[in-house]
Amino acid sequence: MEIKMDKKDAVKKYMMLYMGLGMCFGVSIGLVFGRILYPDNMSMGICFGLPIGMYIDMTIGTAKDKRLSENIMKICRIEAISGSSDTMIYSLDKNGTEKEYRVTEKKMKAEKFVVNDRVAEETDGSLVSLESK
């Protein structure tokens, strides 16, 4: 099984999240720099801080999305673990190798995993959904 991605299927999960964080931090850092550089008009710092914060965090988020899209997988089945609230998720990677992941009930509710969803493995070994729900 080979997983193909179109331009419209590109992963943008973290780019959008980090862009929002960059805007928040950019405004606050811009206020500080604005107060230092322009004591009479601290809003001038926001003009510089906002785009700089957005750009830095969008770059970080895009790099993370690129890494995730290189390791994209599809969920082939989901099974409940008897005697536990955890769930086993089985996914196929781009080479057709089946991998299994133990997912907690809390993570299952947060990510809303379903069969045929695109997923990827984080650096800590956990599973993350690439679908926007």
Place of tokens 């089946």: 98
Helix (H, G, I), strand (E, B) or coil at 111: helix
**For 101, phi and psi rounded to 5 degrees?**
-135, 135
Query: Whole-angstrom Cα distance, residue 77 to residue 70?
Result: 21
Instruction: Estimate the crossing angle of helix 43-70 against helix 13-37, to 10 degrees.
Output: 160
Q: What is the pLDDT along the chain (133 residues), one digit of tens a residue?
A: 444 544 455 667 788 888 888 888 888 888 888 888 888 887 888 888 888 888 999 899 888 888 887 888 899 999 998 888 899 999 998 888 899 999 998 988 888 898 988 888 887 888 888 877 6
Query: Whole-angstrom Cα distance, residue 65 to residue 62?
Result: 5
